[in-house]
Structures are given as C-alpha cells and as structure tokens.
Amino acid sequence: MGFPMNIQNPFKTLPFQNRMLKADFHLHAREDKQDRISYSAKDLIRLAAKQKFDVLSFTFHDDLFYPRDLISFAKKRGITLVPGTELTIHGRHVLVNGIKKLPKVKELTGLEKLKDEAIITAPHPFFPTSTALREQLLQNLHLFNNIEYTARYNQFVNFNKKAASLAQQSNKPLLGNSDCHHLIYFGYTFTQVDASPSIDSILEALRKKKFQLTTTPLPTKWLLKAGIENAFNEYVVKRISPQK
Ligand SMILES: [Zn+2]
Ligand SMILES: [Zn+2]
C-alpha cells in the first residue's frame, strides 16, 4: 500500500493532538442476505484489527446488525462497533450511523427526525449506480451531515471527484469509507476521528466535524475485480430494466 494521501476536509484544518481513532463507517458482510459477500463480519473484524482500526460500523441494507457476541468479539480486539444501517429510500442509499433501532424512513425528508440522534451520510453519491443519490443529494443537502469518499477508485477512474467538489462548495465534510464488499479493498480509504473510543464520543466528534479523510487509490487490478464492474453492471442492468 502506498503512502496515504490526506485530503483535508474543506471546512478547516484540524489541530489533532492525540492519536486519532481509525474508523470505517460503511461495512457489509455475508450475514446480510441482501448482499452476495464471501467474508463474515468476524473475518472483517480480524482484518481490521490487524490494520489497527479502532472503530467499525456494519451498515447492512435496511437492517440493523449489531449482535452482542460481535460487539464483544470486536472489543477484545480493541475495536468499538457503532450501530448503523444503509437505508434504501426510493431506491437510493443513505448511510446512517449511531442508531439505537432500525429507523423507519420512507422519504428523504424523514431523515430530519434522525438528525439529533444519528449521523447521516450520502454514500457513493455520484457513482454510476441506480442507488446513488445524485440530484437527490443536491436537493436535500441540508439533511446530510457528511458526503462519503468511497474506496472504489484509482488514479484513472474516480467517481468521488464530484463528491469532493460538492463537499468543498457546501462546506460538508468528507467521510472516508470502504463500503466494503470485498476484503481486498478494505483499509485504503478510512476516517480518522478525534475522539475517545466510546460510541457517544465518536458520534459527538462526527457531529462536530472532528475527523479527517485518509485515502489511497486502489491498485487497478483490485478496482476492476471489486467495484467498477459492479457499478457498470448495475448501470447497464438498470438501463435494460427500469427501476421498480
Ligand atoms: Zn450503497
Ligand atoms: Zn454499502
């Protein structure tokens, strides 16, 4: 892995004193029946522990996956699990971290009622997939705490560029996540959080924008294997069979 490129959040340069928590707030695993994934949540936690991660959030599709045994499994490895989900609202994905129960949100405007409790992020907002928020993000920017910078890119193909410029214009921070579906690209893009390792402290730091994106482009062969073809497949599939 090359030397990570630090992208400052556009709003300010952060005076970090202590060691930052290494975090990924957008993770999937085999236990989610809505995804086709080869690794288990524990496999991912083991890998994250090797990479010295402190904070992980499993964000299954329209589900809250937060079992007790997994929380203690992670804790034994120095990792705090933050409960989260990836909601599908009119076919578009919305990342929600810090929930206590699965929110029932049918419209994007319904996110308003979650804002006090949870952290709301626009995941992969301009990727060429039907689940990207795109114009819905532009129209509802006030509902979102963060815009995601997603791991699936390299120096030639980077669908995060628009997200980064929107973040700059709108003064929204970029939250670095893997949106992990394959272990090969975990750890290239993550977020460093200026917090202590408790859920409350982590959420507070996110709310106060005390975090920073760290990202490294993927090696091309892994990008091809892991992500781009999925994105294009979905794009092509969507063209052939319009959304329900
Ligand atoms: Zn998604
Ligand atoms: Zn996802």
Ligand closest to 132 (CA) is 1
Q: How far apart are CA 193 and CA 243, in angstroms?
A: 37
82-107 pLDDT tens trace: 999 999 999 999 999 999 999 999 99
Q: Is 32:66 a contact under the CB 8 Å cutoff?
A: no
Q: What is the pLDDT of residue 237?
A: 42
Higher pLDDT, 75 or 233: 75
What is the rounded CA–CA span in Å between residue 124 and residue 24? Answer: 14
Give the residues across from 61 on adjacent strands.
86
What pLDDT shows up at residue 234?
53
pLDDT at 64: 98
Structure tokens at 121: 């992020």
Q: What is the pLDDT of residue 169?
A: 96
Condensed to tens digits (0 to 9), the pLDDT of residues 207-219 reads 999 999 999 999 9
Please state, rounded to an integer, the average pLDDT across all residues of the chain.
89
- What is the Å distance from ligand 2's center to 63 Cα? 12
Q: Residue 93 Cα, ligand 1 centroid: separation in angstroms?
A: 5
Say how many domains are in the chain.
Answer: 1
Q: What is the mean pLDDT of residues 190-198?
A: 96
Which amino acid type is present at position 153? Answer: Y
Those residues with Cβ within 8 angstroms of residue 221's Cβ, 6 or more apart along the chain or in another chain: none
Radius of gyration from C-alpha coordinates of the chain: 17
**Rounded to the nearest whole angstrom, what is the distance from the C-alpha of residue 16 to the centroid of ligand 1?**
30
Amino acid at 107: E
Q: Does 80 fall in a domain?
A: yes
Q: What is the pLDDT of residue 238?
A: 43
Ligand nearest to the CA of 58: 2
pLDDT grade for 166, boundaries at 50, 70 and 90: very high
pLDDT value, residue 228: 55
Determine the distance separating the centroid of ligand 2 and the alpha carbon of 3, expressed in angstroms. 25
- Cβ atoms of 42 and 73 within 8 Å: the answer is yes
Q: Give percent of the chain above pLDDT 70.
A: 85
In a domain, 14, yes or no: no
pLDDT at 230 (0 to 100):
65
Question: What sign does the CA torsion over 193, 196, 199, 204 have?
Answer: negative
* Residue 100 CA to its chain's centroid (Å): 18
pLDDT, one tens digit per residue, over 40-56 is: 999 999 999 999 999 99
The pLDDT score that the predictor gives to residue 227 is 65
Give the environment of ion ligand 1: residues with CB less than 5 A.
Answer: 93, 123
204: in domain: yes
Tell me the C-alpha distance between 178 and 10, whole Å: 20
> Which DSSP string do the residues of 169-229 spell out, in sequence order?
HHTPPEEEE--BSSGGGTTSEEEEE-S-SSHHHHHHHHHTT-EEEEE-PPPHHHHIIIIIH
In angstroms, what is the span from residue 14 Cα to ligand 1's centroid?
A: 29
CB 88 within 8 A of CB 116: no
CA distances from 152 to 21, 49, 128, 218 (A): 22, 21, 12, 7
> How confident is residue 180, by pLDDT bands cut at 50, 70 and 90?
very high
Residue 231 CA to ligand 2 centre (angstroms):
12
CATH code, domain carrying 136: 3.20.20.140
Query: Ligand 2 centre and the CA of 58: distance in Å?
Result: 9
Domain membership flag for residue 181:
yes
- Domain extent, residue 104, equals 5-9+19-239
* pTM for the full predicted model: 0.88
pLDDT at res. 65: 98
Ligand 2 centroid–CA 21 distance in Å is 21
According to DSSP, the residues that pair with 55 across neighbouring strands are 23, 80
More confident call, 47 vs 244? 47
**Segment 20-37 mean pLDDT:** 94
